[in-house]
Structure 1
Amino acid sequence: MRLSALFTRLVVFAAAAGVCVVSARTAVTFIEERSVVGVREVLIDQGHDWASVLSDGLQVVLEGQAPSEAHRFRAMSAAGSIVDASRVIDNMDVVDSQSIAPPEFAIEILRNDSGVSLIGLIPANTDREALAERIARIADGQNVTDLLEVADYPVPETWQAALNYAMRALSDLPRSKISVSSARVIVNAITDSELEKAELESNLSRNKPSNVRITVDLTAPRPVISPFTTRFAIDEDGARFDACAVDSREALNTIMAAARDAGFAGNAGCIEALGVPSRTWGNAVSLSIGAVKELGGGTVTISDTDIALVAPQGTAQGTFDRVVGQLENALPDVYALASDLPRAPTDASAGPPQFTITRSPEGAVQLRGRVPDDLTNTTAANYAAAKFGKANVTMGTRVVDELPSGWVIRVLAGIEAMSQLSNGSVVVDPTSVVVRGKTGSETAQADISRLLIDKLGQTAEFDIDVEYVKELDPIAGLPTPEECVAKITEATTDRKITFDPGASSITSDTTDVVDDIADILKRCPDLRIEIAGYTDSQGREEMNEQLSQDRASAVLNALRSRRVPVSSFEAKGYGEADPIADNDTADGREANRRIEFHLIVPETAPEEPTALEEAEVPADDTE
């Protein structure tokens, strides 16, 4: 009996122990599963889907490759927020830092009246002292703020070329922002005038580095015109603008619509400028042009808020009064109208006094005509000498009495008008000024009109016929690089640069050829030119190649001594390569011993795809 009771107790105890073991295992399994699921969910929610979660008893094991130490730490922290941090086991790896792409070298440069500042990342092997000296020379005593950092990574092949181009641009642009990278240079700058803008664009377009994209955006502030002037006329030759200034594109459209309605055809040459006296400028000018049309001719001059309308001789008084009255009532309040109906002269027998200024294409200036006294004669001579140079002025004037009032002012205005022309003539008489000639300035006609209006008054009669000649324009007249090389080829067609036999010394009888080439190149700045040297086939090939190199270098040095900017030139010897004649004859060998000038054309860098173009590439089109 006692034995049975003991056995029963043992059985009950064993059963209870088994139940406890099963319950414990079930609880552990449940806890493990819930821990893994919870940790996995929080990692996915926080973007750590690269990590995998395993369980080892009550421990949670994290595995996988973390993009960085920061990502690994964030994954551990996320897991520790779900289970006790002591239960989290770190079996993660970090991606090898050597596989991370190197940073892009780039510099942002800002230059203004306060100095030069630089910020960005440059290669560790950059010569900082040389770069600092170069920036200091450009700053020319102004402050230099250097915030550049360095990184020791491989340097792209085009980095130095892009940096050199940016430094050249910076030296020419006192108010600029330049962004430099190995693949692209972006230049943004403000210039003082359209002329300076055109000149700088021409300079920056030369010597562009190959395989580097260059973007140049230069802006010029609109000029300030005072007085703000437009002059419109209709005569026997048709309708024309002697001067035209507008303050906006809308005003230009309004004025041109009125001018076309009055019979004008062509380019008015209107200048968009600052200084307009009223926002109603376009309306006032168009109304004034309409009045000239109604009169059937005449001139109208709008100078700031003053308007001078001159009708043609012979206009009926009634027509004149009607047109003037309509214009007075239609004009905005700010404008004042003065009108004139010239009367026919009563005595045409007496010849009026004249003063004539002529200028030849070579620059010789002659002053002929009447002056009232010696003081005026001296004043005219000195003024002309100041404008054209004393050695270029010839006086053919004579002193007479009883000249019209204001004659001195008309003479001096004529001299100043001539200074706007490269060559031509100005004829001054008591009632008009006639200007004829050629110029290299597209705005010369408008400039002369404003000058004569300012000096002689709004009702002054003058006739301007100025021809713009591109070759006389100091900017537009510059030859293209191809034209420069063509001129050198033409200059050396019938003569050549020769050297002492077997040497690299240029013979004295061909220095004139080098002088002519230097003169051509001085008008073609910033060209990339290769000076190529060639020999005949006599002698060893290595010796011929070295001789041709020495001769090409001698030509380069000769041009440098003549003050030709040769920093972008290259001298290269090709030896006996590329013969142009038969080396078996004396004449052929002489022809093959030569110097040639070749234009170095940079390779065009491929355009980078835009974000839109990249988005349009099909997903499966990996190539």
Structure 2
Amino acid sequence: MRLPLTLVVALTFVLAAALCGVAASFAVTAMEENSEIAVRRALDLNGHDWAEVEADGLQVKLTGMAPDEATRFNALSVVGGEVDPSRVIDRMQIRPSAGLAPPHFSIEILRNDSGISVIGLVPAKMDRQALIASLGRLAQNENVTDLLETASYPVPEGWNDALGFGVKALDMLPRSKISVSAGRVTVKAISDSGADKKRLEDALTRAAPPSIRIGLDIAAPRPVITPFTLRFLIDEEGARFDACTAETATSRARILAAAKSAGAKGSPGCIIGMGVPSPRWARAAELSIGAVAQLGAGSVTIADADITLIAAEGTDQALFDRVVGELQTELPDVFALHAVLPVPEKTTTAGPPEFTATLSPEGQVQLRGRLGSEDMRYMVDSFAKAAFGSASVYTATRIVPELPADWPLRVMAGIEALATLKNGALVVTPDNLRLRGTSHDEEAAASIARHLAEKLGESQSFELDIAYEEPPQTEDAAPDPDLCEAQLVEIQKAEKINFEPGSATIMASSAGIMDRIAELLQNCGPLRLEIQGHTDSQGREEMNKQLSQARAQSVLNELRARRVLTSTYSAVGYGESQPIADNETEEGREANRRIEFHLIRPELLDEETTALEEIEATSTDSATDADADSGAVGASEAAGEDQ
């Protein structure tokens, strides 16, 4: 039976539609797979393995957790390079960011004659008004410029201690820059003198809480030296300086190198100061020292731009003329040379005129020898009594006419120089002035040489033999901190602080050593001291650290019980991290179980820093330009080992 034509046409269309549907289905599936594979490969090649890809017909769906917005955008760009961006459905999410880390809180406090300025970032919960009020009291009603910013974060550990010490340091230092951050304080300042610098460093070191690290950069201003003096001589005792001054460290190095080439031994001192008469001072000094070395003996004195070269008696005339001629030619223009070759004096039966003055350690002075007139004797006696005290001077001089015209000047200059010594003797002759003695001032010889060069003038010879003697310690002066630390080590060498096994309890047998340590620390006065606890390696590391901390704290508590002032002490446990012996042996483990006492020392920064020069010049009007950098100061940390 033949099917109707209409049915055949209908069936043909149905079959064609089915075939098209199947073909379309296969085409869509192939397109989805190809798109997904291409996008997946591109994402993997660009490091986006966190992204998931799903193809749905012509659409490409992206899911996953992107680390940040920039990474998500980059993934979209990669996919857009493989398929039409209109086909991309973005369902990617961004991982929530972690809480922002607190900022670095720090402040800079600048103090000078114009007032105090403070700049930096501080916690909002800090008592800012109390800080400004404290600075206002220090400024004594001068201007206090507040340029602080705040941030709403908790106050970091160590911030309050550091800020309190910073204000205390500012109170001691009228010209300074204090940098404060959590647990650290950096001090840059200018002192009035070298002695004042040392006093301030000691005071700041003792005042600092043990919980903070400090860095000190206190500079003493260079002294103004007048006249700017250098005196170098070679005699039977060898080559040496009586006085040496230089304008810079480079100039000093050149002068000392010339002295060593001329035969000077050891490490002679040379003061760096202001007042140099010429930038070519070092060159003049080198040439002058070299001239004395060529002569083999003699002295050279440079006072400002005047140079006096005195050869030793008996120096060959031809050698003297040659050396002086060469020196005169090579000296810089500003310097004037006066050269002397002494002529041997003829012997007389009367002997040469002489004046002597002696100063005993008890302060008694005796004046003997020749003076030109009664008026001269009265003047010398009065001058000596003014210098040493009326009851301390005994005068036994005699009147001799026809003394040298400059005799009174030489005698008075010598007595004035003798008055600066602890004890000594002065001898004045027509051709020389000799002064020897001891002084508590390390720079006494240089000061006296400058004084005599200024008073006596050119062509005048003088000899100095000044020995330095350390001033006696006052009865109430605390021992040197380094000495106290060394004595603590010695005490523990003789006996050890022992604890009950596995416990922080100090054994009764160690009461004696604790008493001796407490007595020593009471005599030492305030120290920044770290009491360190150490253990052997037996047991768990964390337990050992806890045990060492507890033992160090027990020692600190025992010292407090013995009335030792421990406000500047800290107790720190290091556990097994710092062994001093082999933990594989019983003897080594016993040695490692210990308590140690260590000074917490500040780091002294470079004295030549140029930042200090800004302290003098900066006013509060320029505070907004102040450098907020706290300075890279590696404060000293407690060295560790003692238990």
Is this a same-fold pair by TM over 0.5?
Answer: yes
Distance in 1 separating the partners of 2:274 and 2:461:
27
Between the aligned partners of 1:85 and 1:134, the Cα distance in structure 2 is: 68
- The aligned residue for residue 19 of structure 1 is 23
Deviations 1:596-619 (A, max 9, x none): xxx9965689xxxxxxxxxxxxxx
For 1:325, the equivalent position in structure 2 comes to 325
Aligned to 1:5: 9
Q: 1:149 to 1:417 in 2, by over 3 A?
A: farther
Q: What letter is aligned with 2:355?
A: Q
CA distance in structure 2 between the partners assigned to 1:213 and 1:331 by the alignment = 52
Structure 1 residues 473 and 271 mapped into 2: Cα distance closer, same or farther (>3 Å)? farther
Tell whether the 8 Å contact from 1:63 to 1:90 is kept in structure 2 after alignment.
Answer: yes
The corresponding residue for 1:53 is: 52
Partner in structure 1 of residue 150 of structure 2: 149
2:450 aligned with 1:450: yes
Distance of 1:12 and 1:351 partners within structure 2 = 148
**Root-mean-square deviation (Å):** 4.7
Per-residue deviation, 1:457? 0.8
CA distance in 2, matches of 1:455, 1:338: 16
Contact 2:385 2:393 in 1 (8 A): no
Residue range with higher mean Cα deviation, 116-125 or 444-453: 116-125
Q: How does 1:272-421 map to 2 (within 5 A)?
A: 272-278=272-278, 280-346=280-346, 347=348, 349=350, 352=353, 354=355, 356=357, 358=359, 360-361=360-361, 370=371, 381=382, 385=386, 394=393, 396=395, 404-421=404-421
TM-fit CA distance, 1:201:
3.0
In structure 2, distance between residues paired with 1:85 and 1:352:
119
CA distance 1:9–1:298, change in 2 (3 Å): closer
Residue 321 of structure 2 aligns to a residue in which SS?
helix
1:130 maps to what in 2? Answer: 130
The percentage of aligned residue pairs carrying the same residue is: 38
* Deviations 1:429-455 (CA, angstroms, capped at 9, x unpaired): 554333222222222111110111011
Instruction: State the shift of 1:161 in Å.
Output: 3.3
Cα distance in structure 1, aligned partners of 2:454 and 2:129: 55
Instruction: State the distance in 2 between where 1:246 and 1:148 align.
Output: 46
Q: Which residue of 2 aligns with 1:94?
A: 96
Alignment partners' CA distance in 2, 1:212 and 1:21:
76
The answer on 1:169 being equivalent to 2:169 is yes
Q: Is the 1:61–1:90 contact (alpha carbons within 8 Å) kept by the matching residues of 2?
A: yes
The AA in structure 2 aligned to 1:52 is A
TM-score of the superposed pair, with normalisation by structure 1: 0.64
Distance 1:281-1:550 versus aligned 2 partners, 3 A rule:
closer
Counterpart in the other structure of 1:616: none
Q: Deviations over 1:102-158 (max 9, x none)?
A: 4444334444455444444444443333322333344442433342424433632x4
One-letter amino acid of the structure 2 residue matched with residue 55 of structure 1: E
Rounded Cα–Cα distance in structure 1 between residues aligned with 2:398 and 2:111: 57
SS at match of 1:420: coil
Equivalent position SS for 1:87: strand
Q: AA paired with 2:96?
A: V
Provide the secondary structure at the position in 1 that maps to 2:206.
coil
Query: How many residues align structurally?
Result: 497
Structure 1: distance between partners of 2:472 and 2:349:
40
Structure 2 unpaired stretches of 5+ = 488-518, 531-558, 570-595, 603-643
What does the per-residue CA deviation read over 1:25-68, in whole Å, with 9 as the maximum and x for residues that have no partner?
A: 544555555566666767x4xxxx585334374363443374xx
Aligned residue number for residue 204 of structure 1 = 204
SS in 1 for 2:64: strand
Q: Indicate if the aligned counterparts of 1:121 and 1:151 stay in contact, CA closer than 8 A.
A: no
Asked whether the equivalents of residues 357 and 415 of structure 1 are also in contact (C-alpha less than 8 Å), the reply is no
Distance (whole Å) between structure 1 residues aligned to residue 137 and residue 597 of structure 2 = 29
Distance 1:551 1:238, change over 3 A: closer
Distance 1:485 1:259, change over 3 A: closer
> Of 45, 70, 76, which residue of structure 2 is paired with 1:74?
70
**How big is the shift at 1:340?**
1.7
User: Kindly tell me: are residues 238 and 485 of structure 1, through their superposed partners in 2, closer, same or farther at Cα, counting changes over 3 Å?
Assistant: closer
Contact 1:373–1:400 at 8 Å: present in 2 too? yes
Asked if 2 retains the 8 angstrom alpha-carbon contact of 1:255 and 1:282, the reply is yes
Match of 2:436 in 1: 436
What do the CA deviations read for 1:520-574 (whole angstroms, capped 9, x no partner)?
98xx8854699xxxxxxxxxxxxxxxxx99995xxx9xxxxxxxxx99689xxxx
Equivalents in 1 of 2:378, 2:25: separation in Å? 130
Q: Counterparts of 1:455 and 1:7 in 2: how far apart (Å)?
A: 138
Report if the CA contact (8 A) 1:299-1:309 is conserved: yes
Structure 1 unaligned spans of 5+: 488-516, 531-547, 557-565, 571-598, 606-623
Letter in 2 for 1:13: A
Question: In structure 2, how many angstroms separate the alpha carbons of the residues matched to 1:160 and 1:409?
Answer: 63
1:395 Cα deviation after fit: 7.3
Aligned to 1:302, the other structure's residue is in SS state: strand
Decide which moves more: 397-406 or 275-284: 397-406
| CA distance in structure 2 between the partners assigned to 1:273 and 1:90 by the alignment | 72
* 2:242 is equivalent to residue 242 of structure 1: yes
Give, as a single letter, the amino acid of the residue that structure 1 aligns with 2:10.
L
Structure 1 position 251, deviation (Å): 5.2
Q: Please tell me whether the aligned partners of residues 529 and 599 of structure 2 are also in contact (alpha carbons under 8 angstroms).
A: no
Structure 2 Cα separation of the partners of residues 115 and 260 of structure 1: 48
C-alpha spacing 1:362/1:167, structure 2 compared with 1 (3 Å): farther
Shift of 1:421: 2.3
Comparing 345-354 and 368-377, the one that deviates more: 368-377
> Structure 2: how far apart are the matches of 1:173 and 1:53?
65
How far residue 318 of structure 1 moved from its aligned partner, in angstroms, is 4.2
Return 394-403 or 235-244, whichever deviates more: 394-403
Aligned mates of 1:171, 1:23 — CA distance in 2: 86
> Given that residues 301 and 459 in structure 1 are in contact (C-alpha distance below 8 angstroms), is that contact kept between their aligned partners in structure 2?
no
SS at match of 1:130: helix
Name whichever of 434-443 and 130-139 sits farther off. Answer: 130-139
Letter in 1 for 2:145: V
**Equivalence for 2:181:** 181
Q: Distance in 2 between matches of 1:249 and 1:550?
A: 51
- Matched-pair contact (CA < 8 Å) for 1:365–1:392: no
State how far apart, in whole Å, the 2-side matches of 1:321 and 1:604 are.
58
Partner of 1:575: none
Is the Cα contact below 8 Å between 2:277 and 2:304 reproduced in 1? yes
For CA contacts below 8 A with separation 6 or more, give which structure has more relative contact order: 2
Q: Secondary structure at the match of 2:471?
A: helix
* Aligned residues of 2:367 and 2:397 also touching (Cα < 8 A): no
Shift in CA distance, 480/85, structure 1 to aligned 2, threshold 3 Å: farther
Contact kept, 8 Å, 2:355 with 2:411, in 1: the verdict is: no
- Give the conservation status (yes or no) of the 8 Å contact 1:136–1:144: no
Following superposition, the deviation at residue 480 of structure 1 comes to: 0.5
- Report the Cα distance in structure 1 between the residues aligned to 2:86 and 2:364, rounded to whole angstroms: 100
Residue aligned with 2:357, SS: strand
C-alpha distance after superposition, 1:397-417 (max 9, x if no partner): 889695643455434433442
Q: CA 1:432–1:33 in structure 2 vs 1: closer, same or farther (change >3 Å)? A: same
- Counterparts of 1:217-616 in structure 2 under 5 Å? 217-247=217-247, 255-256=255-256, 258-260=258-260, 262-278=262-278, 280-346=280-346, 347=348, 349=350, 352=353, 354=355, 356=357, 358=359, 360-361=360-361, 370=371, 381=382, 385=386, 394=393, 396=395, 404-428=404-428, 430-471=430-471, 479-481=479-481, 527=527
- Structure 2: distance between partners of 1:145 and 1:85: 59
Q: Quick check: 1:233–1:239 contact (8 Å CA) kept in 2?
A: yes
